[in-house]
Structure 1
Amino acid sequence: MITSFVVFLLMFLGIGILSAFKATGKKNDYYLAGRHVAPWLAGLSAVATNNSGFMFIGVIGFTYSTGLAAIWLMVGWILGDFLASLFVHKRLREVSASVNEVSFGGALSRWDGGFQPTFRKIAALITIIFLGAYAAAQFKAGGKALHSLLGWDLQTGAIVGSLIVAVYCLSGGIRASIWTDAAQSIVMIVAMALLLVVTTVHFGGPADAWDQMNEIPGFLSLYPEGSLFQPEWLSFGLFVTGWLFAGLSVIGQPHIMVRFMALDSPEHLSRTRVYYYGWFTVFYAMATMVGLLSRLYITDASGFDAELALPTMAMEMLPPALVGLVLAGIFAATMSTADSLILSCSAAVTHDLFSHRVENIWLIKCATLIVTLLALWIALTDQQSVFRLVIAAWSVLASAFAPLLILKSLGRRIPERLAIAMLLVGVAVDLLWIRAGWNAYIYEGMPGILSGLTVWVSVTWLGRKSAVSY
């Protein structure tokens, strides 16, 4: 088991280090691979980055606890992501190239050819704080996997993952991240498919497994338990719509959108989309099915950490060499996202946070190392679940950036003070929603995004009304 796991880790590390031979030592190459990434690489990298340890650990744990109603996460997430991609991704690629910006916040601040330095700094702070927490969740997911499969201390996996990510990020920057993402995406889907097939056969095939799940009260209900509003159908509708907003929230994630910024041509986005959504749909569907089957295998849900469902099943049902493959798949998922998060944070530090951009490649790599250590520290000290930590970071970033990106992609010019107001109001509403506990019923990014859009509508309407009165 350990041998097969180490072989895969060394493969990922080797691919990342090999990418350094193509590095030019320039910031544009370190953060965007010179904007020469092929469509299939961009697609596989973006989807591996999107799925992360959240899919292996968080989604399967959520499905274990929730039942079939968890399928609405998949439906809403993929649909929302796809709808946003139809009008945002190409425009972002074109604008980032035209203004020669390597960071997500930098592209937003100079979208209309102007310069918004205060907005850029605030955006950088939000990026660093919440992408850092997001990266910590990936290291934490790796720690949980090693703890369950090898009995290691929870902190060990986080340290191992952070060391590997640091080595190949420092070697080849985003090119190392994208190359390893492509390899990791293949290992991830093979590992998930393997566990799905073995588990289904263990329970007598799809029909028998379904009959056994049907015996668990409420497990196959399409309606999630609990209602925030009455009638119940309204609460259910808002639940599903909330996860559609979670998918739309992809456009607010700097670490994913930078993959599309690095694409070799805006005209190749359609091909990239085929790789991205094809892989995404297959993998998410398999993860949901494995989550459902895990409840049959681990029948006593009381006192069990649902986020350990997949590694626990793998350990008990597979031979050691294949357990190593599954463990490598989980680690691949965590690293494919963690490296992207860390590089996006590094870009925010070196190009957005300070008045003068950092151009020296060694200082840029030093910033990458510091961000890695910050994420590791959060992983070792924070007690939240992987699922909640990821969703919280994801939703805050979406509430901050998605409204602006939607409007800018539609050709709306937004003054700096209005952009800042939209960003801060969106983040505040998101955090207050979490604080009130309403995120158990409706994804918190939905009110956050809508509040940012509402600020723009209100200010625009008042401005027009004043102009008419004048």
Structure 2
Amino acid sequence: MITTISFVVILSLFLLVGLASGRKAKGSRKDYYLASSSVNPWLAGLSAVSTNNSGYMFIGVIGFTYEVGLASIWLMLGWIIGDFIGSSFIHRRLRRATAQSGEASFAGVIARWYGDTFGVWRRIAAVIMVVFLVAYAAAQISAGGKALEGVLGINPWTGAVAVAVMVLIYSIVGGIRASIWTDGAQATAMMIAMTVLFIAAMAGVGGLSGAIEKWSALPGYLDLFPDDLLLPGLLGLLLFIVGWLFAGFSVVGQPHVMVRFMALDKESNMAKARAWYYGYFTIFYALATGVGMLSRLYLPDLADIDPELALPLMAVELLPPILVGLILAGIFAATMSTADSLVLSCSAAFTHDLVPQRLETTWMMKGATAVAIIIALGLALSENQSVFDLVILAWSTLASAFAPLLTLYALRRSVTQPVAIAMLVIGVSTALIWRFGLGWHTSIYEGLPGILAPLLIGWVLSRPRSVAHAETPPEAAGEPASG
């Protein structure tokens, strides 16, 4: 009972924060989808990292680490380094292009980067976003259901419905601003929850020395080389690391994450936003990896059930009820912070990129958000897939679709619309064939070839743009900015 009360109280606070954002809502599409580009750097950074981490970190990564052991550290290092590389030259220019184009969606900004329209590319991009963002949101809702099942023993459908209903309420009221505001509160809960569980788990095994002694007794658990590498030895490990480096770089192709930086108040504040983002990300990912490895010591038989239940089950075993409620709220916070972002990006893709913009009314934007949540909930309730696998599939496909073209633009190169369409199709096809046709995704992240293949083709078929031309607002170049 105490666990449930603690959980409900914390979730209620998140909901109140989201509803409070509605007082600042202006009803315009730029406000609903970009918060009128007025978000402070600390909040933009925390919101982006909270959205990035998601239920994937609490459920998927910890389950993966439970099974793999120390070798999962390469996933962490590769992801953060790859993410940092992408942000070093893309984020600021994306924020600038957002201001210059007057667009309110991720695909819209890319389509009008140099004042072009790229209408066909934009609609194809919107379809891909709708499909994979909804699948991604389903994974987050599913993670909430797994958490509730692991802690309270309640049917996972209940948790999935709870996530969907809460996200629906505050997303419709406040749009992206509600999502960003709640992300700030959720990021705090996520960090506290993971820290508390890590400290409790480490103390229970006698500190670091005790943990190392127990891990050493598990065959291969402290090996740095994963046992399913595509190639043996150091070369196989390097390919594995580079694969996850591309997984981190793939952040630039995730509409729901990048929209946070598009909503930043000033381009000059990007360095501050990135500092908040990477400071939090590094600490949180390290804690998640530690908790995942420690969970193997407390729950040695979980591999035969579902490793993705490791965190909630370990919380029940180690913590008093009130803190178990905090852990459960932290997991729900992670799932909601991403689910709301996904459905709002899906809504933007539908109302702003796919259908004629004259239909983009306030009620249509909110209606599209509701429909996206309902479809995602339906998928979450009907599927029994690994959260980790489903997130990586959506993540890699979105990255393969958008990261190559966005990279070229950030490097001040331009392409024609047919080339842009070819890059998108080649990227998505390559990633899907790598996963489902060749089955090599367990050894090398499918986003690596999915990004490289269209990027190389696009580079050959692109042309350089001068700095002056690349940074000229479309209005000044004689092109009307939409919006």
Q: Same-fold call, TM > 0.5? A: yes
Aligned to 1:104: 106
CA contact (8 A) 1:35 1:262 kept: yes
Q: Which amino acid aligns with 2:160?
A: A
TM-score (normalizing by structure 2): 0.94
Alignment of 1:274-423 (within 5 A): 274-423=275-424
SS in 1 for 2:413: coil
CA contact (8 A) 1:26 1:361 kept: yes
Shift of 1:455: 2.1
Shift of 1:227: 2.7
CA contact (8 A) 2:415 2:462 kept: no
CA distance in 2, matches of 1:395, 1:417: 22
Higher mean alpha-carbon deviation, 242-251 vs 378-387, is at 378-387
Aligned to 2:86: 84
CA contact (8 A) 1:31 1:343 kept: yes
Aligned to 2:163: 161
CA contact (8 A) 1:421 1:455 kept: no
Aligned to 1:19: 21
CA distance in 1, matches of 2:439, 2:175: 39
CA contact (8 A) 2:67 2:303 kept: no
Shift of 1:380: 1.1
Aligned to 1:253: 254
1:59 aligns with 2:61: yes
Q: Which amino acid aligns with 2:61?
A: V
Shift of 1:460: 5.2
CA distance in 2, matches of 1:80, 1:154: 34
Q: Which amino acid aligns with 1:251?
A: V
Q: How big is each residue's C-alpha offset from its partner over 1:208-263, in whole Å with a ceiling of 9 and x where there is no partner?
A: 1111111111000110012322x422111100000000000000000000000000
CA distance in 2, matches of 1:341, 1:249: 16
CA distance in 2, matches of 1:52, 1:301: 22
Shift of 1:378: 1.1
Aligned to 1:192: 194
CA distance in 2, matches of 1:382, 1:85: 34
Aligned length: 460
Higher mean alpha-carbon deviation, 375-384 vs 239-248, is at 375-384
Change (3 A) 1:348 1:446: same
CA contact (8 A) 1:351 1:357 kept: no
CA distance in 1, matches of 2:450, 2:385: 21
Change (3 A) 1:170 1:460: closer
CA distance in 1, matches of 2:339, 2:25: 21
CA distance in 1, matches of 2:226, 2:83: 22
Aligned to 1:426: 427
Tell me, which stretches of 5 or more residues in structure 1 are unaligned?
462-470
Percent identity of paired positions between Structure 1 and Structure 2: 56
- Superposition RMSD on alpha carbons, in Å? 1.1
SS in 2 for 1:245: helix
Q: How big is each residue's C-alpha offset from its partner over 1:180-205, in whole Å with a ceiling of 9 and x where there is no partner?
A: 00000000000000000000010011
Shift of 1:426: 0.5
Tell me, which stretches of 5 or more residues in structure 2 are unaligned?
464-483
CA distance in 2, matches of 1:456, 1:32: 29
CA distance in 1, matches of 2:389, 2:26: 39
CA contact (8 A) 1:358 1:364 kept: no
Q: Which amino acid aligns with 1:146?
A: L
Q: How big is each residue's C-alpha offset from its partner over 1:373-401, in whole Å with a ceiling of 9 and x where there is no partner?
A: 11111111122100000000000000000
Aligned to 1:468: none
Higher mean alpha-carbon deviation, 27-36 vs 452-461, is at 452-461
Q: Which amino acid aligns with 1:158?
A: A
Change (3 A) 1:97 1:355: same
Q: Which amino acid aligns with 2:65?
A: T
Q: Which amino acid aligns with 1:339?
A: D
Q: How big is each residue's C-alpha offset from its partner over 1:267-321, in whole Å with a ceiling of 9 and x where there is no partner?
A: 0000111100000000000000000100111112541211000001011111111
Shift of 1:362: 1.1
Change (3 A) 1:203 1:277: same
Aligned to 1:453: 455
CA distance in 2, matches of 1:277, 1:113: 32
